[in-house]
Chains A and B, each alone.
Chain A
Amino acid sequence: MPQELIIEPGRADRQYWRDIWRYRELFYFLSWRDILVRYKQTVIGIAWAVVKPLLTTVVFSFVFGRIAKLPPDGSAPYSVMVFAAMMPWQFVATSLTECSNSLIGNANLISKIYFPRLIIPAGSVITSFVDFLISAGLLVLMMAWFRWWPDFRLLSIPLFIALAFAASAGPGLWLAALNVKYRDFRYVVPFLVQTGLYVSPVGFSSKIVPERWRLLYSLNPMVGVIDGFRWAILRGETPFYWPGVGLSLAVTFLLLVSGIWYFRRVERSFADVI
Chain B
Amino acid sequence: MSDPVITVENLGKKYRIRHQHQRQRYLTFRDLLADKTKRAARRLWSAARRPLTSDLRPQTSTPPAHEDFWALRGVSFEVNQGESLGIIGSNGAGKSTLLKILSRITEPTVGRARITGRVASLIEVGTGFHPELTGRENIFLNGSILGMSRAEIQRKFDEIIAFAEVEKFLDTPVKHYSSGMYVRLAFAVAAHLEQEILVVDEVLAVGDAQFQKKCLGKMREVGLHQGRTVLFVSHNIQAVKLLCSRSVLLKEGNLLAQGPTEEVTRCYLAENETTGAERVWPREAAPGDATLRLLSLKVAAGNGTTSSELCSDEYVFVEMLVEISSLNDALRVGFELLRADGTVLLTSFHNDTATSEWPPLSLGSNNLRCQVPPGLLNAGRYTVAPRICIHCVRWIVYEPPTVEFDVRITHGRSHFWMGNAPHPGAIRPVFHWVRR
CA distance A198 to B110 in the complex (A): 51
Chain A residues whose C-beta falls within 8 Å of the C-beta of B117 in the assembled complex:
2-3
Give every chain B residue within 8 A of A4 (Cβ-Cβ): 114-116
Q: On chain B, which size bracket covers the interface?
A: 35 or more
Q: Which residues of A contact B426 (CB under 8 A)?
A: none
Contacts A108-B127, A109-B128 aside, 17 further interface pairs with beta carbons under 8 A come to: A2-B118, A5-B119, A7-B112, A7-B114, A7-B115, A28-B144, A29-B145, A33-B130, A36-B133, A37-B132, A40-B133, A109-B127, A113-B145, A183-B28, A184-B28, A184-B29, A184-B30
Identify B15's interface contact among A28, A29, A272, CB under 8 A: A272
Say yes or no: B130 contacts A37, CB within 8 Å: yes
**Which of A25, A37, A111 contacts B149 (CB under 8 A)?**
A25
Which B residues lie within 8 Å of A148 (CB)? Answer: none
B107 near A181: Cβ-Cβ < 8 Å: no
CA gap between A268 and B104 in the complex, in Å: 10
Asked if residues B103 and A268 are in contact (CB atoms below 8 Å), the reply is: no
Partner of B118, one of A3, A40, A271: A3
Given the complex of chains A and B, what is the CA–CA distance between A169 and B106 in angstroms?
25
Residue of B29, B32, B130 ringed by the most chain A CB atoms within 10 A: B29
Find the residue from A8, A10, A40, A184 having the highest chain B CB count within 10 A.
A8
B43 within 8 A of partner (CB): no
Q: What residues of chain B lie closer than 8 Å to A36, measured between beta carbons?
A: 132-133, 137
- B32, A111: Cβ atoms under 8 Å? no
The answer to whether A8 touches B30, judged by C-beta atoms less than 8 angstroms apart, is no
Q: How many Å from the CB of A123 to the closest CB on chain B? A: 12
Which A residues touch B347, using CB under 8 A? Answer: none
B104 near A33 (CB under 8 angstroms)? no
Confirm or deny: A67 has a beta carbon within 8 angstroms of a beta carbon on chain B.
no
Does A210 sit at the interface, judged by CB under 8 A? no
Q: Which residues of A contact B15 (CB under 8 A)?
A: 272
Pair A113/B146 contact, Cβ less than 8 Å = yes
By CB atoms of chain B within 10 A, which of A32, A33, A110 has the most? A33
15 contacts between A and B (CB under 8 A): A5-B114, A6-B113, A7-B112, A8-B108, A9-B110, A12-B104, A25-B150, A29-B140, A29-B144, A32-B141, A33-B137, A37-B133, A110-B105, A112-B105, A114-B121
Chain B contacts for A112, CB-based, 8 A: 105, 121, 123-124, 127
B27: which A residues are within 8 A, CB to CB? 181-183
Residues of A within 8 A of B (CB): 2-12, 25-26, 28-30, 32-33, 36-37, 40-41, 108-114, 178, 181-185, 268, 271-272
Asked if A2 and B102 make an inter-chain contact with CB atoms under 8 angstroms apart, the answer reads: no
Distance of B430 from chain A, by nearest CB (Å): 50
Is the pair A114, B26 in contact by a Cβ cutoff of 8 Å? no
A182 close to B32 (CB less than 8 A): yes
In whole angstroms, how far apart are the Cα atoms of A32 and B128 in the complex? 13
With a CB–CB cut-off of 8 A, which chain A residues contact B114?
4-7
A272 x B106 contact (CB < 8 A): yes
Question: B342 CB to closest chain A CB, in angstroms?
Answer: 31
